[in-house]
Chains A and B, each alone.
Chain A
Amino acid sequence: MKKIFFTLLIVCLHISVFAEKTEDMYVMRLTTQGQLFFISENIFTSTDRKFELPFDITYLNSTDSVSIKMTVPHHTLTHVDSVALVLEDEAYMCPVVYSIYKEKDKKQWIHRTDCTFRYEAVKKSMIQPTAPQIVVYTEAGTQYYTMPQAQWQKLQPHLVEIFMLIDASKRL
């Protein structure tokens, strides 16, 4: 009886804690300038698995530009020059990156940055079947980030749904 109870408890916890719902992954607000969408933080990992790149997406549906804010980690204090979104057969560049803040976090420096891409570019990169690559060009070198395919396959359907919702909101 005890084993059954604790097994059920662990299963319920596991399902409820780790089951992701699309509606928990984004926020939509009405503003005087249109509908504001915020896709909560997701994390890409560097190809050498040393760093993590948390990023979130903000989009106002009356505009054509998407703001991707990311926390770029590095061993040294540096400057982020530009960011690229690399897809299977094309790449999109953000040549002007705004620095929000920089600070020391344990043994590394973090650079919170804001870069702007066209909506269609971000949508293409987030709904494609294979994980896109985010390339960060800094004064101290270039970093390559992506997501393991198994993890991307769990996340991508939710992103497809969110972008479908955004497209529908543009037709209102």
Chain B
Amino acid sequence: MKKIIFSVACALALTSCGTVGLVGAVYMNTTEPTAVTSNTLGTKVGQAKALSVLGVAAVGDAGIEKAAKQAGIKKVSHVDKKTFSVLGLFTKVTYTVYGE
């Protein structure tokens, strides 16, 4: 049991290596800026999501292109990224694109 807890703790501690931005090894629910352009903020909003489960399988198209296409956005003004993660075992990333 001690070995399991120690292994999990090491794995969680090392998740921050080689990454940039906010990292929460145990729990993460953040919204961060991803990109901004000189285009004015339009009235269209699009989202795209991707999921990762148990660090084993990841699915989804969370690209900016997908999110922009969903809303019919032709000029992107800015993009935000929302990350929800629990123990690194379940992670959901949502990109929200704003534009016109």
A residues near B, CB below 8 A?
1-2, 5, 9, 12-13, 16-17, 24, 27, 29, 31-33, 36, 38, 40-41, 56, 58, 60, 69, 71, 98, 100-101, 112, 114
Contact = CB atoms under 8 A, between A and B. Distances in A.
A100 B44 CA distance: 12
B44 A58 contact: yes
Given A100-B72, A101-B69, A2 B87 contact: no
B45 A13 contact: no
Interface of B: 1, 4, 27, 40-41, 43-45, 47, 69-72, 84, 86-87, 89-90, 94, 96, 98
A29 B40 CA distance: 13
Contacts of B87: 9, 13
Contact of A69 (B43, B71, B86, B90): B71
B96 A17 contact: no
B57 to A, nearest CB: 15
A16 B91 CA distance: 11
Contact of B71 (A12, A17, A40, A58): A58
